[in-house]
A = this chain, B = another copy of it.
Amino acid sequence: MTEFDNFFKSAFTVDNVIFGFDEGDLKVLLIKRGEAPYMGQWALPGYFVYPNEDLDTAANRVLEELTGLRHVYLEQVKTFGAVNRHPFGRVITVAYFSLVKINDYKLQPASIARKAQWHPVSEVKELAFDHFEILQSCFQRLKSSVRWRPIGFELLPPHFTLTELQHLYEAILETELDKRNFRKKILGMDLLLDLDQTQEGVAHRPAKLYRFDREKYLRFQAEGFNFELKEGQRKEVRKRRMEAV
Residue in A12, A76, A81, A236 whose Cβ sees the most chain B Cβ within 10 Å: A81
A236–B52 alpha-carbon span in the complex (Å): 41
CB within 8 Å of B: which A204-231 residues: 222-226
**A226 nearest CB neighbor, chain B only:** B237
A76–B236 alpha-carbon span in the complex (Å): 27
Decide if B81 touches A78 in the complex (CB within 8 Å).
no
* Of A83-91, A116-124, A149-157, A180-188, the one touching chain B: A83-91
Decide if B88 touches A55 in the complex (CB within 8 Å).
no
CB within 8 Å of B: which A124-148 residues: none
Indicate if A92 sits at the interface (CB-CB under 8 A): yes
Residues of B within 8 A of A91 (CB): 4
A224–B245 alpha-carbon span in the complex (Å): 11
Indicate if A11 sits at the interface (CB-CB under 8 A): yes
A132–B215 alpha-carbon span in the complex (Å): 30
Decide if A10 touches B8 in the complex (CB within 8 Å).
no
Q: How far is the CB of A239 from chain B (nearest CB, A)?
A: 8
Residues of B within 8 A of A52 (CB): 83
CB within 8 Å of B: which A29-67 residues: 48-55
Decide if A8 touches B50 in the complex (CB within 8 Å).
yes
Decide yes or no: A11 and B2 within 8 Å by CB, A225-B237, A234-B226, A237-B225 being known contacts.
no
Decide yes or no: A8 and B90 within 8 Å by CB, A222-B244, A224-B241 being known contacts.
no
In the complex, the 6 A-B pairs of residues with the closest C-beta atoms, listed nearest first: A224-B240, A9-B9, A223-B244, A55-B81, A79-B79, A226-B237
30 A-B pairs in the complex with CB atoms less than 8 angstroms apart: A4-B88, A4-B91, A5-B89, A7-B48, A8-B11, A8-B48, A8-B50, A8-B51, A9-B9, A9-B10, A9-B12, A10-B12, A10-B51, A12-B12, A12-B92, A49-B81, A51-B83, A54-B81, A54-B82, A55-B79, A55-B82, A55-B92, A222-B244, A223-B240, A223-B244, A224-B237, A224-B244, A225-B237, A225-B241, A226-B233
Known: A9-B10, A53-B83, A79-B79. 19 other contacts (CB 8 A): A2-B88, A4-B89, A5-B89, A7-B48, A8-B49, A9-B9, A9-B11, A10-B49, A10-B51, A12-B12, A81-B94, A223-B244, A224-B236, A224-B237, A224-B240, A224-B244, A225-B241, A226-B233, A226-B234
